[in-house]
Every structure is written in C-alpha cells, then in structure tokens.
Chains A and B, each alone.
Chain A
Amino acid sequence: MSKRPWKNVIKEGFFKAVFGTAAVFSILAVVLIIVFLIYRGSPALQKIGFFDFVFNAEWMSDSRDTYASEVSGSYGILTMIAGSLYAAAGTVTVGGTLGFFTAVFLAKFCPKRIKKPLNQIINLLAGIPSVIYGFFGMRVVVPLLGVFSANGDGSGILAVGIVLGIMITPTVAALSGASIEAVDASYYEGAAALGASREQAVFKTVVPAAKSGIFASVVLGVGRAIGETMAVVMLAGNNAVFPSGLFSSFRTMTANIVLEMSYAGELQAGALAATGLVLTFFILVINLCFNALKGGKMAKKRTAAGRKANPFGRYFNRACQKTRFSASPLYGQNPPKEENYVNNKPAKHSNAAAIAAVGKYVSYAAAAAAVFALLAVVLFVLINGLPHVTGELLFGAFNYGGAPSIAASLLATAMLIFLTSLIAFPIGVFTAIFLAEYTVKGGKFVRLIRLTVETLGGIPSIVYGLFGMIFFCGILNMGTSIIAGCLTVSLMIIPTTVRGTEEALLAVPDSLREGSYALGGGRLTTVRRVVLPPALPGILAAVILGIGRMAAESAPVLFTMGASLKPTPTGYRSSGTTLAVALYALAREGAYVDEAYATACVLVVGVLTLNIISAALGARLQKKLSGGGGIKAQSK
C-alpha cells in the first residue's frame, strides 16, 4: 500500500499512449479521405455548379477540359444517381427476398442435422470476391438473359440485380437469421399455445418481433449494392443514360469512377472525385439508417455475464436484444393479431394458416435457390478453371502479347498482403484494445473514434481507390506502385480489423477482468495475460478475414497499383496487378478465357481457404471461453 511506483505508472502510460495513438490514426484517416475528396472535388463542383452536377442528366466528359478553359463537355450525374438506386432496388429485390426466406428456413424450418453445415456454407460464400461474381455474371447470367432480351444483350439492370442479389444473400441471410434466432422462445410458445400452427407462429409472431433486425440487414444490402463496383462494371453496360427497361444499359456512380479515372483530364478527374463525394454521402446516409435500425450506438455499459461470441457481432446482438423487449403481438400494448388465435376454430382450416403454409414452402424454395446459386458460382469457376491451372500459368515468365501467366500477379498479391498486414493489423488491433479496454469512462473522444471507425468501414472500396490515387499516388508522389496500393488497402482493412478484434475482446467476460484486478493486476497485465489469450483466436480470425479481403478487393488497387497485366514487380515502388485485378483485366479483354477461368479458380480457392481458417479460429474462441478446450499450463 505504498505510493504508486513510478516505473509501473510510466509503463502503463506508455502503452496507453501507443493504443491511443493508433486510435487517433483512425480519425486522421477519415478526415484525410473526406478532406482530399473535397479538395479535389470542390473546384470541379464550382466550375460545373453543384446543382448542375447533381441534377443534370447529361454526362459527356471531355478529358481536355481544365479549370481554366471553357467547359466543352457536360458533367451531370443524375443518370448515375438513378443508376445506383436502380441497381440497389434490383439487388434488394432479389437478394433481400432470397436472404430473408433463407434466414427463416435456417432459423425455423431447417432440420437440425443440416442446419450447421448449411449455415457454414452460406457464411463462407459471403467472402467470395466480387470480381468472381462479375465474371460469373458475364459468362453465365448475361448470355442466359440474352435469350429474352430484345437486342440479344442480356446485360443491364436485371443481370446486375440477379448477380448482386446472389452476392448479398449470405449477408442478408446471416443478419436476418441472427435477429430471428434472438427472438425469445416464449413468443413462439405463446402463439403455439393459442392454437397457431407452426408456420403461423413463425410468420405472424416471431418474424414481426425480429423485423427491425431484418430491415437493418436489407438496408445493409442496399449499402453494399450502391457501393459495389467491379461486378457492376462488368454487367451494367455502362451507358450514362436513364435505364428504360430490365435489359437497358445503365451506369452507376461507382462505375463512372472506374471507367474514366484512368484517363481523366483535370476537370474530369475533379468531377469523378465529386462523384465519389456524392457516393460517400449516400453511403453515410444509409449507414445512419442501418445504425438507427439496429438499435443505435453500441451501449457503453458492459454486462458481465453471458456475452456470446456471435459471428455477426455484438453490434447486431444489441439490435436483437432490443427487439426482444419491444412491443410484440403477444405481450405488447397492441394485441390486434391475437384475434386470429383466440377464436376457437381450429387454426389449420383458416385462410391465414394456408397463407402461412405457403410462406413455409417459399422459405424452402428460397433456401434451396440460394444455396444452389452460390454453389453454382463456385463450382462453375472450379470446373471451368481447374483444368487450366497449369504450371505455365502459375509460374511462366511474363510476356506482353503471349499467353498470360499470373506469376507476377501472385507475387504482387503476396507483396500487397505482406506490407498491408504490417501496417493495418497493428493499428487495427491497437485501436480495438484502446476502445475495448481503456475506455471505461466512455467519453466524447471514445465516441468520436468509434464513429469514425464505423464511418471508415462504410466507405465504398472504390472511394478508397480514388483517395489513394489522389493522395498516395498524386500528392505523395508515389505514382502507380505497390506501396501506394498497400497504403490504400490498409486504410480499408483497419476498420474491419478494429471491429473484429473489439468483438473478440468484448467476448471475454468482465468477471475475468475483475478477477485479475482484484489480484492486483494492473490494466496492462490484465489485458496481456487475461484478456488477450482467450481472445486470440478471435483476433486471428479477424486478421485472416482481413487478408482474404486484401486478396479479394480490386477497386482500391486498380488505380493505385496497376490495372492491366504487368511484368513481375521488382520492389514496392514498381507497379503490379493483384490476382483479382488480373481476373478483371482478363475477363474484360475476352481473349484469354481459359486463363481467366484458371485465375478465378486460384482466387476462389485462396480466398475460401482463408475464410475457412478464419471461421475455424472463430469457433475456437467460443470453445475456449465456454470451457471446452483444455489449455496447457506453461510451467510445471
């Protein structure tokens, strides 16, 4: 009980400063991104006029336009705002429906035996890179739809809706499923006790109780659709006109940036940055809606017991817990729906029961369709690609014009993953430690960091690419180089790392922290010896998921690292093409279809492997904290 020993105070303070600095970095990143988009976009907006830019429907860019000269092109993005919204509508129609009914099936109608594997498959498929979906769409969906199209071209809103719909199905299904599962069992039992059939109980009682969670997952799907770039560019046709039918060509805001950025002139580049600003604005609004729906901010106060490590996270758990207490048809103040159950007729014979029964079969069908579609994407790539994965392709020397080899891309991807990991993971993990372990007081600063991290996480990947091109390649004079790609992708990976790590840390019950403090362990000791060891598998899972994303994302590296097949990189200053970008390049050229399939195959296998490892590690975290695994003592 002496006075505080200075050595410990300094050590504690030092580490707190390290963690805090990492957290501040996240704020800086968001500020930088917004500031530089504005810095690049605002002169163009002034020249074009904000009103004209947003409400003019004609886009005829002219790369000779400068801020000084007369404007000879026209720069209105109304068609593209409409295009993004159309894409979102199509995507949500397909993906929302498939995802919702799949979730209902998995949560309520699925036989126990196949539930777990089915869930795992669906979660796994959420990690397939979007270029793969785009590629699948180009090779399969567009030709199929072409049969029905008047001009024989199947691309357009329908194709985008179907492919992106399949793409967001796992996310919607997982999040909706989590909120349906979180509905208290008493709801179901209450309805059943009143004579409702199983289907009625599910659709009239359980689903309504979970509705805010389900809406939230659909809103998230809208965000993904509006932010999606690669798959859209590959399927939309990309004419800057208002879409007039299911097969009409259209252009989204994201596509606009990708299509024109590489050759943009001064004013044009400014207009594209401004497009990025508008796009970011849309995404931020959608994120706000999502946050409002899922129950607002993360609660500051922790509950000591019973926090499970949920793969969809505590952010979402909150929403689910909230629904549990909100008004329900059975317990709430508004009981109108009870009438159905209380009348003494056997419920089975009523009309409502028949409708609910249809719902059940729709769920079966949706789940089957979703699993079929997702597996089709993977199998299609594997079956067509595997035979062409040859030594020549993997290790052959690079040559312009000849048969392509992806050796250079493999190396570039590995280099990207290596350096990005070194930058992003320490910052992300430290930020999370700061947020989870050093912020009991929940002050303004902490809320600011949390908000910025969430904002950073919501920014679409193409905007990162745009920022990287302006800031790292341009202002910092790195040019198109692997290092610029690494820095750009780091910014994108940090928020997901923070989130995953924080979830793993918060899954460690507070009672363990108290136990350590009560033994005289300081904060640092407690974090290092009691919190981190059990959280480690969860943190590793987040890290590996992050690596998967580095390999999967193409939009952020397209302009910062290199967009077309490049020779073997000689260092971080040379440019390079990642596997995902190589696939994009090969797929769009159309000359080397077999090589494209093989590249897709390598990419899918790599990313799925990383996701499997990540899922396995996540499962271990849960087991460790619930007492399943024996942990070896270090001594004795």
Chain B
Amino acid sequence: MKALLIGESREGKLLESTYELVGFARQLGADSAMFLVGDPGRLPGYAGKLYLADVAQAGEYQPDLHKKLILDAVEKENPDLVVFLHSSYGWDLAPRVAVRLGVGQVSEVIGFKEGGFELGACNGKMRRAVKLQGRVVVTIQAGAFAAAPAEGSPQVEPLKESAVSLVEFAGYQPPEPKDIDLARAEIIVSAGRGVGKKENVEVIAALAKALGGELGASRPVVDAGWVEHSHQVGTTGQTVSPKLYIACGISGAIQHLAGMKKSGFILAINKDREAPIGEIADVLVVADVLQFVPALTAKIAG
C-alpha cells in the first residue's frame, strides 16, 4: 500500500497538521511520499520523497493549479491512496482531484475498521465503515491520528505547472482582535444552541460568574449574534484547556470538541442522553439546562 500525503502550508509556514498525515500512513502501515506547495527554504522534517511546488509561483490558494500539480505527482508516484487533511485546504481540493482521477473519495476518516476506514455520521452520533477497492482519495479528520515526529530530510522532486486558475486569491483577512483571552481561563462555562434564545445566555453567564469563570459559546450561539465571536470555542474559534469546562446545551460536534477536549474536567448538561458530548464528558447531567443551571447557580450563591 502506498500513500501520497498532501501537506499544507499557510502564510509561508508548513502547517504542523501535515505530520498527522505521516502519522496516519504509519498507523496504516503504508509506504508514503509527500506533496507540498511550500517554501523550498523551509522543508518538512520527513524522510521520504517530497514532490514540491514553489509557493512563490503556485500560490497558497490556487485550487485548479494545485490540482494539476497533484495529478502530476500521482502519475509519477502511482499511489493507492491520495490523503488530505479534512481542512479548508483539503476538503476544497480533494473532490476536484478525485473527479480528475476518476476515483471515489472518502471524507473525514477517523479510524481503521474491518480492512477499511471508519467515518462519523449524524454529527458524531453514529459511525460508518467503508471498504476500499483500487485507488481512493481520502481526507482524514484533524486530530484523529497522532502526528508523527518531524525527523529526517526529504528527497525533493520539484514540480512545475503553468495553468490559468479559475479563481483569484485576493489575500488573507486576519482574525478579529479579541476582547477576551479564553485560553487563559481556568473555568469556562459555555452556552450552546440548547439554551434556546439570546435572553437565556444570561443564565449561563450567571453560572460562569458565580464560579469566577468566563463565558464560552458554541458556534450557532455566535452565528446567531447572541454572544461575541471572541467567546467561541472550537476549530474556528479558540482552543481552550481550562481546569473546568461546563458545556450547557452543546451537542459535542467534532469542531467544538477539538477546541475543548483537553480541559481538565468536563461537565456537560444536555437533555439528550445520547449527545456525543457524553463521550468526552467526565460527568453528563441529563437535564434541561434552564432548570438545572439556575438551580446550580443558586446553590453556589448559597
């Protein structure tokens, strides 16, 4: 089994998540080669063949051009698997490559199962297993496979393609400045969609205050404008690891978990006993947040 690993760089730097691809290939017991559009002056710590296109020419977001370059590498390497991270780079590019190769794609692999791959379904509540036949394009879930250490130096094989891109990348927009640094909080009490409406966020904020902690939130609460984005926990918000994390009416989607699973102690309050947050919570309280949380706050206030 041979895997072509599609590394990532952003704003000139190699993304550390690239080493999760190497970890995936090792766990699978596959031989690997790597493809990267990156800076030839900053190579990954990887002891294998590296198909490298210079980011100065190929750009960081030129999907049509990167697709062509990957097809060149596939032709040279003849891999069984073309492996991307399930990231804004990978999920954007993988389907284009799969169509051009005339092969299927498996998205967001979380593990190995019965000679094939295991995937999540229904927002993490269920699992699906797929078997593989022939060449396949794969994306792996961020954080699902432990990163391999950066070691060795690659044998570089430069790639070059001229292509007219259908999209023009006009640059990055930096994150909005934060008014609060959740990453330093020792106690975070987060509101999820289960709080029901904006006014109820107060109930969660009151518990946070009673505990001397900060208010966090899941994405829908932020998207709805109930809480500022600076309070959002997750892959597109902040990554936190407080000593105590309390998730109120949060289902536990992978993008939320990725931002808080390293917390010391996790308490979840959810009316759904099957909510995936239960998989990582130290304690899951099956209750209505609007009954339980005010009662707990009152008890703390004495």
Do chains A and B stick together as partners? no
